[in-house]
Amino acid sequence: MELVCPAGNLPALKAAVDAGANAVYMGFRDDTNARHFTGLNFDQARALEGIRYARKRGAKVFAAINTYPQPAGWSRWQDAVDRAAALDVDALILADIGVMDYAANRWPELRLHLSVQGSATTAEAIRFYHENFGIQRAVLPRVLSLAQVRQVAADSPVPLEVFGFGSLCVMVEGRCLLSSYATGLSPNTYGACSPASAVRWQQTPAGLESRLNKVLIDRYREDEPAAYPTLCKGRFCVDDHTYYAIEEPASLNTLELLPQLQAIGVAAIKIEGRQRSPAYVQQVTRVWRAALDACRRDPQGFRLQPAWRDALQKVSEGTQTTLGAYHRPWQ
């Protein structure tokens, strides 16, 4: 299985490559990718430098152009595809049908991957993108159980990439409008969920409050660690109970499922986190490299090393990790 790691900037790209990533994925500095955060991503010169660095060390580079253009912004997405093609990236990661149609026609030699933002949960959905645009890999949403991944893998016309580690979207990616409902900006339209520009922190007598465009997402007592107010990870009131009504802050970690994912025939494991630091990327990549190598050498004898778990726990959101939907009871 290929290890696909996040490159939010050049130092992170180098960290991932040095720590053993088989491929890194990056985006340009605008709303054409789903990590449209201030200070993140690549201009053309940096991208070129990154690609050279990766190639020299045998790693591939994918460009994520995985948001949904509207007519007024269309040229930016078209331009992003052209720029990525000029950079000779190893693959484009796309979500929008229109962008895919453009890329497939304009750059027929360019390899296309279906982004998780394309929200294909079945082999039939994947077949749509394969038949119409010749995609060669699909990234599955983080909502399927292991049995469901196995089923999709058995029927899919192309190899699959699944998420192994990082932040967890509880909603099907590409079809979640919670962020734009509260702020006007969503992953689909703007490339960011619960964008920083809409976040307000305020110390009040009731505690530290986090808001997204005036909506109270959470409130913390002094002894509680405060988390970034991602909308679905706030505490809300339902039937007079206040709790994490949608999702508890936790990281996805599927390290222990590696032998099963390998047996299913999954082609690649994706690590989330282009917004994370180079140190984080290095740490996570190193652990996953070691685990993937161990699993390939001896899948039957594969055991979680306590050192791996400790290293990953240390960098995890809310310090809790979960198998997410891969583990059926979670659903």
- Which strands form 215-220's sheet, in the order they lie side by side? 199-204, 207-212, 215-220
- As to burial, measured by CB atoms within 10 angstroms (0-12 exposed, 13-18 middle, 19+ buried), residue 236 is middle
> To 5 degrees, how large is the angle CA 217–CA 316–CA 33?
70
> And the tokens for 232?
């679905």
320 vs 331, beta carbon nearer other proteins: 331
260 vs 305, beta carbon nearer other proteins: 260
Is residue 203 involved in binding other proteins (CB under 8 A)?
A: no
Q: Packing angle between helix 146-155 and helix 123-133, nearest 10 degrees?
A: 40
Residue-wise burial string across 39-66, b where 16 or more C-beta atoms lie within 10 A, e elsewhere? ebbbeeebbeebbebbeeeebbbbbbbb
Q: How far apart are CA 159 and CA 154, in angstroms?
A: 10
CB of 57 to other proteins, least distance (A): 36
Binding mask 103-142 toward other proteins (x if CB under 8 A, else -) reads: ---------------xxxxx-xx-xxx-xx----------
Binding mask 296-325 toward other proteins (x if CB under 8 A, else -) reads: -----------------------------x
Residue whose entry in the numeric block shows the structure tokens 């394969």:
130
Is residue 188 involved in binding other proteins (CB under 8 A)?
A: yes
Is residue 331 involved in binding other proteins (CB under 8 A)?
A: yes
Q: How far apart are CA 19 and CA 32, in angstroms?
A: 28
Is residue 144 involved in binding other proteins (CB under 8 A)?
A: yes
69 vs 166, beta carbon nearer other proteins: 69
Binding mask 23-62 toward other proteins (x if CB under 8 A, else -) reads: ----------------------------------------
The one among 136, 145, 260, 277 contacting other proteins by CB under 8 A: 145
Residue 121 DSSP one-character state: -
The one among 45, 239, 297, 306 contacting other proteins by CB under 8 A: 239
Is residue 180 involved in binding other proteins (CB under 8 A)?
A: yes
> And the tokens for 12?
């992170």
Is residue 79 involved in binding other proteins (CB under 8 A)?
A: no
> And the tokens for 73?
């912004």
The one among 44, 202, 242, 313 contacting other proteins by CB under 8 A: 242
Is residue 227 involved in binding other proteins (CB under 8 A)?
A: no
> 228: which residues sit within 8 A by CB, 6+ positions away?
194, 199, 210
- Chain residues binding other proteins by CB under 8 A are 68-72, 74, 95-99, 101-102, 118-122, 124-125, 127-129, 131-132, 143-145, 148, 151, 170-172, 174-178, 180-184, 186, 188-189, 213, 215-219, 232, 234-239, 241-242, 245-247, 325, 328-331
